[in-house]
């Protein structure tokens, strides 16, 4: 803050400069002494990926350490006009002759970014998937394999390692035509290659049914009370030896919770929201049913409400 004469206060007062609006405001009476001021200082801004990084550069985009040139190479644009077309074609041919070793990586990173955006994943998962793909690509052993399945598998592994797992079916929905079987094979191949690189098994992270619960409940439009009950039920279900996949257990718990509420969901809707087959949900419900009195929270359903559940 600095001092300036305020016409309302009739004396020198401290003034505050609002950089977003360009206004100089009196700190005592709030009078705008000057508006739309022009800031003639350098336009410093940060291009760092993380907000905490101190990287005040005035020009250029963020560098990518996974690329040879840091992702800061120059590309000649095509100018307009007939003379520009000749110049463009000549420069374009010279540009294409210059081999770019990262051309394949750039395309792969763009594909991973597109899949991440469609799934609503955070930047850390996308960066981890890029890193996994770069390590696999450096081994020069992925030639001839299905690239779409390979990139989808990198994203699947990255989600697992960042403790934000997605089902293979969710990954498959954005994998540009790659099937679940192809993604599964690609995942096994990547895990094997990374294991050979490190000389030890790759840590994938443990999947729990609770990892999927909030997202599945959101897809079904369940209220907060039902979501809370479902999360508590899933945590209690881990105390019992229920030999089902975490995704199947999550779907079965959601089915039980909705049957105990006024907003009952049909099995078909739960199957669509979770990606679990109706028959699998029924079988998981059959395994959970003997423990339902110990799994469902007392504040959500009473003993007589549990007796009204249909017998499997």
pLDDT tens digits, one per residue of 105-125: 888 899 999 999 999 999 999
Nearest to 190 by CA among 167, 54, 182: 182
E-only strand ranges, the chain: 2-6, 11-18, 23-26, 32-34, 45-46, 56-57
What pLDDT was estimated at residue 55?
Answer: 57
Strand partners, 23: 18
Q: Residue 170 region, left (φ>0) first, then alpha (ψ -120 to 50), else beta?
A: alpha
What is the token pair recorded at 201? 């098994």
pLDDT: which is higher, 293 or 101: 293
210-308 shares the fold of 103-198: yes
**Contact indicator for 7, 21 with CB cutoff of 8 Å:** no
What pLDDT was estimated at residue 210?
Answer: 86
pLDDT: which is higher, 10 or 144: 10
106 alpha-carbon distance from chain centroid:
19
- The percent of residues above 90 in pLDDT, for the chain, comes to 29
pLDDT: which is higher, 286 or 87: 286
What residues have CB less than 8 Å from 51, skipping those under 6 apart?
Answer: none
Burial letters 166-182, b for 16+ CB under 10 A, else e: bbbebbbebbeebeeeb
Q: How far apart, in whole angstroms, are the C-alpha atoms of residue 278 and residue 275?
A: 9
What pLDDT was estimated at residue 52?
Answer: 57
Instruction: Give the chain's mean pLDDT.
Output: 82
What pLDDT was estimated at residue 22?
Answer: 79
3-state secondary structure at position 137? helix
Give domain 210-308's CATH superfamily: Cyclin-like (1.10.472.10)
Residue 48 has pLDDT above 60, yes or no: no
Task: Name the percent of the chain in helix, strand, coil, to the closest 5.
Answer: 50, 10, 40
| 3-state secondary structure labels for all residues of 192-256 | HHHHHHHCCCCCCCCCCCHHHHHHHHHHHCCCHHHHHHHHHHHHHHCCCCCCCCHHHHHHHHHHH
**Contact indicator for 250, 234 with CB cutoff of 8 Å:** yes
Q: If you count them, how many residues does the chain have? A: 312
What pLDDT was estimated at residue 241?
Answer: 86
What are the structural domain ranges in the chain? 3-34, 103-198, 210-308
pLDDT tens digits, one per residue of 226-269? 999 999 999 999 888 888 899 999 999 999 999 998 888 889 99
Residue 91 has pLDDT above 70, yes or no: no
Residue 11 has pLDDT above 80, yes or no: yes
pLDDT tens digits, one per residue of 150-190? 999 999 999 998 888 898 889 999 988 889 999 999 999 98
Domain 103-198 in CATH 1.10.472.10: yes
**What average pLDDT does this structure show over 208-224?**
89
pLDDT band at 309 (very low <50, low <70, confident <90, very high): confident
Which pTM value belongs to this model? 0.68
Residue 312 has pLDDT above 80, yes or no: no
3-state secondary structure at position 301? coil
Residue 89 has pLDDT above 70, yes or no: no
pLDDT band at 102 (very low <50, low <70, confident <90, very high): confident
**What average pLDDT does this structure show over 81-99?**
57
How many C-alpha atoms does 284 have within 13 Å on its Cβ side?
Answer: 25
């Amino acid at each position: 803050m600095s001092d300036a004469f305020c016409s309302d206060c009739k004396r020198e007062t401290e003034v505050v400069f609002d950089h977003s609006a360009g206004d100089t405001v009196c700190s005592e009476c709030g009078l705008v002494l000057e508006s739309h001021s022009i800031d003639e200082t350098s336009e410093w801004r940060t291009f760092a990926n993380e907000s905490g990084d101190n990287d005040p550069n005035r020009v250029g985009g963020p560098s990518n350490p996974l690329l040879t040139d840091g992702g800061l190479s120059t590309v000649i644009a095509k100018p307009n006009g007939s003379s520009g077309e000749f110049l463009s074609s000549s420069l374009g041919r010279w540009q294409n002759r210059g081999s770019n070793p990262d051309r394949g990586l750039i395309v792969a990173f763009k594909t991973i970014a597109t899949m991440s955006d469609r799934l609503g994943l955070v930047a850390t998962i996308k960066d981890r998937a890029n890193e996994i793909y770069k390590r696999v690509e450096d081994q020069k052993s992925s030639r001839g394999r299905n690239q779409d399945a390979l990139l989808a598998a990198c994203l699947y592994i990255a989600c697992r390692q960042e403790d934000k797992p997605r089902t293979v079916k969710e990954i498959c929905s954005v994998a540009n035509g790659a099937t679940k079987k192809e993604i599964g094979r690609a995942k096994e191949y990547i895990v094997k290659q990374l294991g050979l690189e490190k000389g030890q098994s790759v840590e994938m992270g443990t999947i729990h049914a609770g990892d999927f619960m909030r997202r599945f409940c959101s897809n079904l439009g369940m209220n907060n009370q039902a979501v809370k009950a479902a999360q508590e039920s899933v945590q209690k279900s881990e105390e019992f030896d229920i030999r089902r996949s975490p995704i199947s257990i999550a779907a079965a718990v959601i089915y039980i919770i909705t049957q105990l509420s006024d907003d009952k969901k049909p099995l078909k809707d739960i199957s669509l929201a979770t990606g679990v087959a109706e028959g699998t949900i029924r079988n998981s419900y059959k395994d959970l049913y003997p423990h339902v009195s110990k799994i469902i929270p007392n504040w959500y359903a009473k003993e007589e409400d549990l007796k009204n559940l249909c017998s499997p």
